[in-house]
Amino acid sequence: MKIQKLFQKTLVGIFFLFAVISLSTSALCIYTVDTHLSAEYESNSRGIAKTIADSSVDILLNRDLSALQSLIDQFIEIQGISYIYITNEDGEFLAHTFVPGIPTEIAQSDHSSRATMERHLPGMGDFVEVSSPILAGVAGAVHIGMDTGLIALKIQRAVGQQVYLISSIFIIGVFAAIWLVRLAAKPIDSVIAYAARLARERNKDTSDEKLLARDDEVGQLARLFLYFSMVMDFDKARGKPPGGQV
């Protein structure tokens, strides 16, 4: 019974330990994935924006805007890219991928900024927008919006997988702990039973050779119990109170 209580405390300890591990690694995972993915998406988007901007010069100067639309339509298929729009030097939209229309927030924003900006578009989600100038900005700019929801989804997936892994390890660990504790408790149970038998059946030959032969703590305890039993028997025979000077 005492062993079970001890084990319960150990189990609670293990649970808290795993909870701490789980929370701390999840937090680290969120931070790492978010930072790396955001940086990677931004870097890729900047690269794509620059590619489109470089390709757009000839189209803007010499060709029909349908060729420009055809160009951006090919890039919108890349995962993570949610929208692309191209503005001229006056901020007029020349091509875009918005359906059913250009969001008011984007239509009314300043298109001359080249800084990375975060956008919340009602009904569409949250985005990080990067820009690249066309012909050093004198012919306009390419703007690309990345869906941060996709990053959140990837983080969610990574954290979920991690929690799943830790939970699996935790469950396996609990079963392993139960088995190990039972393994360890078996000789202790034997020594307790042996002590009880010594107390109950005094002056009889109650020695358990197998138990007494063990060279671990359990064997030492068994031998100690036998010794105390013999001392008590000896004191009793000499008329001394039990526990007196040996």
Interface residue list for other proteins (CB under 8 A): 62-70, 73, 95, 97-102
- Cβ closest to other proteins, residue 70 vs residue 220: 70
Query: Amino acid letter at 235?
Result: D
Q: Copy the structure tokens of residue 188.
A: 């202790």
Residue with tokens 């307790």: 192
The least CB distance from residue 77 to other proteins, in Å, is 10
The least CB distance from residue 30 to other proteins, in Å, is 34
In degrees, rounded to 5, the angle at the alpha carbon of residue 244 between the alpha carbons of residues 238 and 246 is 75
The least CB distance from residue 97 to other proteins, in Å, is 6
Helix (H), strand (E), coil (C) string for 133-198: ECHHHCCCEEEEEEEHHHHHHHHHHHHHHHHHHHHHHHHHHHHHHHHHHHHHHHHHHHHHHHHHHH
The least CB distance from residue 108 to other proteins, in Å, is 14
- Cβ closest to other proteins, residue 11 vs residue 102: 102
Instruction: Kindly report the backbone phi and psi dihedral angles of residue 145, in degrees, each rounded to the nearest multiple of 5, phi listed first.
Output: -105, 130
- Cβ closest to other proteins, residue 76 vs residue 174: 76
- Cβ closest to other proteins, residue 68 vs residue 211: 68
Contact at 8 Å (CB) between 126 and 150?
A: no
- Cβ closest to other proteins, residue 122 vs residue 241: 122
Rounded Cα distance between 78 and 71, Å, is 13
- In a 13 Å sphere around the CA of 125, the CA atoms on its Cβ side amount to 16
The least CB distance from residue 35 to other proteins, in Å, is 34
